[in-house]
Amino acid sequence: MPLEAKDSPCRGFCTTALGDDVCRSCGRTFEEVTGWIGFSEEQKQACWERLIREGWVDPDRNPIRGR
C-alpha cells in the first residue's frame, strides 16, 4: 500500500467519543483512535490492513462501510 495514501481512516464521525469500543464510522478501536498520532508507521499499516481485511476500507483506503 503506498505511503502517499490517506494517513488516517478517520471519517469525522467518531462514535468512540460516545462510548463505543469500535468506531462505527471508521472501524478503529478506541485504542487505535486515541493512539493514532503516536503510532509508528508499522502500527498504522497493521491497522489499515485489518480495516481492509474486515471490509471497512478498500485497498486504496477509501471507505466502503460505516457512516
**CA–CA dist 60, 52 (Å, integer):** 9
- Apex 58 CA angle, 53 and 35, nearest 5: 65
Residue 2 lies in a domain: no
How many domains, the chain? 1
Contact of 66 with 25, CB cutoff 8 Å: yes
Residue 6 confidence (pLDDT): 75
Residue 25 lies in a domain: yes
Residue 58 lies in a domain: yes
Residue 43 lies in a domain: yes
On whether the pTM is more than 0.95, the answer is no
Residue 66 confidence (pLDDT): 73
Digit-by-digit pLDDT tens for the chain (67 residues) are 444 557 899 999 999 989 999 999 999 999 999 999 999 999 999 999 999 999 999 999 999 987 6
**How many of the other CB atoms lie within 10 Å of CB of 32?**
21
Identify the domain containing residue 47 by its residue range. 12-67
